[in-house]
Amino acid sequence: MAQTKGEYQIGYGKPPAGRRFQKGQSGNPTGRRRTKGLPELLVAALNAPVTVTTEGERRKISKREAIVTQLVNKSATADLRATKMLIDMLKEVEEKAGPSALREAAILSPADREVVEHFIARLRRQIAAEAAEGAEAAAAEPAAAGDPSP
């Protein structure tokens, strides 16, 4: 079955020289098809777009955004079950966010920054005044006691 072309045999497992893979090239560059698991399927379904009409205007948003919007709206209408779910979700998000959320909250507006700077300046003046009073009191104590200096 094998054909001979010069000194090279062509047959099973021995392709013609022109059809071999180039050096450094894989036999299947795209790899095998991977099946999606439950987490990937869930993320894909939540990110799928849905058309929503709000205030007479149609918009496309993700299903994930639609679910959160509905939960917040139900919570605002005093639905206790929705409110509990929303509070639990907020606690979980805050725990995951950790100290980075506190840093974002620490960003001050220019007006707030001005108030803080005035407060710091007032505190520094007060501390300096107390230190000056303390130094005067310490200097006055030996003179008031009538003790001669050695």
DSSP-derived pairing of the beta strands 3-5 and 8-10:
antiparallel
Q: What is the pTM of this model?
A: 0.45
* Rounded CA separation 68/70 (Å): 5
Domain map (residue ranges) of the chain: 36-106, 107-137
Asked if residue 6 has pLDDT above 70, the reply is no
SS3 10: strand
* Rounded CA separation 102/10 (Å): 70
| 115-126 pLDDT per residue, tens | 888 988 988 998
Most confident among 21-30, 67-76, 139-148 (mean pLDDT) = 67-76
| Residues in Cβ contact with 14 at an 8 Å cutoff, skipping those fewer than 6 apart | 2, 8
SS3 128: helix
Q: Is there a contact between 77 and 68 (Cβ–Cβ < 8 Å)?
A: no
Give pLDDT, residue 29: 75
How confident is the model over 87-93, as a mean pLDDT?
A: 90
Give pLDDT, residue 112: 87
SS3 35: coil
Give pLDDT, residue 98: 75
How confident is the model over 71-79, as a mean pLDDT?
A: 91
